[in-house]
Structure 1
Amino acid sequence: MNVTVRQLAEWVRGEVLGDPELTISNARTLGEAQPGDITFVENGKNLSAWHSSKASAAIVPVSVPVNGRPIIRVSDPLMAFASIVRQLRARPSEAPGGVSPAAHIHPSAKLAPGVTVGPLAVIGEGVEVGANSTICAGATVGRFCKIGSDTTIHPRVVLYDECVVGSRVILHAGVVVGADGFGYRTAHGRHIKVPQLGWVEIEDDVEIGANSTIDRGTFGPTRIGAGTKIDNLVQVGHNCQIGKHNLFCSQVGVAGSAATGDHVVLAGQSGVSDHVTLGARVAVGAQSGVPSDVPDDQHVFGSPATPVHEQIRMHFSLRRLPDLRAEVKEIKKRLDAGSGKNGN
């Protein structure tokens, strides 16, 4: 597709500086862009890369100066660029897939208009699927699950019985929702399974990455709040109550019965102990372990996790340990000399 810079600016409601009639054929990042491409500059740190780039034009923040090539000024260059990429690389819309004859759907299941079901998908007894949702090939939806509208269940996702999934939810390949929580009692030297009789509720606009797992509650729901985004390979244990608009990065683990407030961020490979509560807007640094409750608006780091300013102080103290050790040895040497321990 060939379009002018002026047309691109209209797509993203940006301001053109430079030649608006320049023709653009593709959109690529700064390092990959070639003549005829448009790229983007997210902030001032990328200016040198923009100056050396081969791109013919760029989408830039409002503060970026002109350097002779056309630019489109917008408030959010990344999202504007994403919009342009989507339109330049647009493929013909697929016709609604309908229900594959190779899918297995229980006669009691209720599928709203516009639902697509791929081959080898399994939809169990009493399931309800909302309008325009997609159940991709090989996915399994257990008995009495409820799925909202415009939700996408990707291949090989498994929803155990009685799970509830909201509208505009995306579950990526391999996600498992509603497996038994890890609950056991030890009696007479044996681990006895505690029955897991609850379910999982995933609210609207949640996205869960590939191969992540959300365990069902013991007696009530494990809940994922609206707007929360979960990366690949994340584990959320049974009875957890996850707030709205949380961000969980890859390999995060949240142990059973933990709770988070709204807008919590857990960086990669961090872990939260069971029965711990994180307040609203808490941020946990990468590879941190959180053993106890954290109040609202705290940024914590380390294992055990403590406020960032404490970790910084400890870090600088650790860096000084070799010098402190040398000073202590010198002081000890002088004390020993003064007390005659050297044989004088």
Structure 2
Amino acid sequence: MNVTVRQLAEWVRGEVLGDPELAITNARTLSEAEPGDITFVESERNLHAWHNSRASAAVVPASVPVNGRPVIRVADPLMAFADIVRHLRARPEETPRDISPGAHVHPTAKLAPGVSVGPLAVIGEGSELGENCTVHAGAIIGRFCKIGRDAIIYPHVVLYDDCVLGDRVILHAGAVIGADGFGYRTANGKHHKVPQLGWVELEDDVEIGANSTVDRGTFAPTRIGAGTKIDNLVMVGHNCQIGKHNLYCSQSGVAGSCVTGDYVVLAGQAGIADHVTIGDRAMVGAQAGVPADLPGDLHYLGTPAMPVKEMARVFASLRRLPELREELRQLKKRLDAAEGAG
């Protein structure tokens, strides 16, 4: 597709500086761009790469100076560039939405207009899907599930019975929602399973990454709040009550019966012990371990997790341990010598 810089600026509502009629054929990143391409500069940190780039034009923030090539100034270059990429790489319209002959839809299931079900997908007894839902090949939706409109269920997702999904929920390939929680009682030398009789509720605009899991509650729902985004390979245990707009990065884990506020962030491989409460806007750093409640509005690191400033002092002390050990050894040596001389 050939377009001009001016047309691209109209798509993203940006301001053009430089030649607005310059032709653009593709959109690529700074390191990959060639003549005829448009790229993006997210911040002043990328200025050196922009000056060395072969791109013909760029989407930039207001702080980036003009260097002779056309630029489109916008408030958010990354998101504007994503819109441009979507326009330039537009695919043909999808085939009409329908139910694949290879899918199995239970006669009692209710599918609203515009639902698409791929081959080998299964829709269980009594389940309800809202308008324009997409269920990809091989996905399994159990009995009596309720799914809102515009949800996307990617291949090989499994929804156990009774799951409730809001509007625009996205579940990526291999996600498992509603498996039994890890609950056992030990008696007479054996582990006896505690029945898991609850369900899972995912509120509007929740997105769950590939091969992540959310366990059903024991008696009541495990709940994920609206707008929360969960990365690949994340586990959320049974009975958890996750707030709105949380961000959980890959390989983080939340044990059972935890409660998080809104806008909580868990970085990669962070681990939360069971029955822990984390306050609004707390940020838990990579590989941190959280054994107890954390107040909100702070950034935590380490195991056990503690506020960044406090952990920075701990890290500084750890780096000095070899030096302190040598000082202690020399001090002991002098004491021993003094005692011997006495």
Bin for the TM-score computed over the shorter chain: over 0.9
SS in 2 for 1:72: strand
Residue identity opposite 1:133 in structure 2: C
Residue identity opposite 1:197 in structure 2: L
Matched, 1:195 2:195: yes
Who is 1:129 aligned against?
Answer: 129
Q: CA–CA distance in 1 between the matches of 2:284 and 2:203?
A: 23
Matched, 1:220 2:232: no
Q: CA–CA distance in 1 between the matches of 2:197 and 2:340?
A: 75
- Pairs within 5 Å for 1:11-26: 11-26=11-26
- Pairs within 5 Å for 1:50-61: 50-61=50-61
Who is 1:33 aligned against?
Answer: 33
1:211-260, Cα deviation, whole Å (9 max, x unpaired): 00110000000000000000001110000000000000001110000110
- Pairs within 5 Å for 1:136-155: 136-155=136-155
1:324 Cα offset (Å): 1.6
Matched, 1:233 2:233: yes
SS in 2 for 1:59: strand
1:334 Cα offset (Å): 2.4
1:5 Cα offset (Å): 0.6
SS in 1 for 2:185: strand
- The more displaced of 88-97 and 208-217 is 88-97
Residue identity opposite 1:306 in structure 2: M
Q: CA–CA distance in 1 between the matches of 2:141 and 2:334?
A: 76
Who is 2:297 aligned against?
Answer: 297
Who is 1:339 aligned against?
Answer: 339
Q: CA–CA distance in 1 between the matches of 2:257 and 2:113?
A: 38
Residue identity opposite 2:233 in structure 1: L
SS in 2 for 1:314: helix
- The more displaced of 81-90 and 292-301 is 292-301
SS in 2 for 1:185: strand
Residue identity opposite 2:7 in structure 1: Q
1:289-329, Cα deviation, whole Å (9 max, x unpaired): 10000011121111111111111001111111222222222
- Pairs within 5 Å for 1:43-82: 43-82=43-82
Who is 1:5 aligned against?
Answer: 5
1:186-215, Cα deviation, whole Å (9 max, x unpaired): 010000000000000000000000000110
1:91-144, Cα deviation, whole Å (9 max, x unpaired): 111133211111111111110000001111111111110000011111111010
Who is 2:209 aligned against?
Answer: 209
SS in 1 for 2:340: coil
- The more displaced of 315-324 and 156-165 is 315-324
Who is 2:266 aligned against?
Answer: 266
Q: CA–CA distance in 1 between the matches of 2:275 and 2:96?
A: 45
1:339 Cα offset (Å): 2.5
1:58 Cα offset (Å): 0.5
Q: Identity rate of aligned residues, in percent?
A: 75
What TM-score results when the alignment is normalised by the length of structure 1? 0.98
Matched, 1:287 2:287: yes
Q: CA–CA distance in 1 between the matches of 2:225 and 2:271?
A: 19
1:331 Cα offset (Å): 2.2
SS in 2 for 1:340: helix
Q: CA RMSD in A?
A: 1.0
What TM-score results when the alignment is normalised by the length of structure 2? 0.98
Who is 2:308 aligned against?
Answer: 308
1:68 Cα offset (Å): 0.8
> Where does the alignment leave 5 or more consecutive residues of structure 2 unmatched?
none
SS in 1 for 2:223: strand
Q: How many residues align?
A: 342
Residue identity opposite 1:232 in structure 2: N
Q: CA–CA distance in 2 between the matches of 1:328 and 1:215?
A: 51
Matched, 1:166 2:166: yes
SS in 2 for 1:143: coil
1:265 Cα offset (Å): 0.2
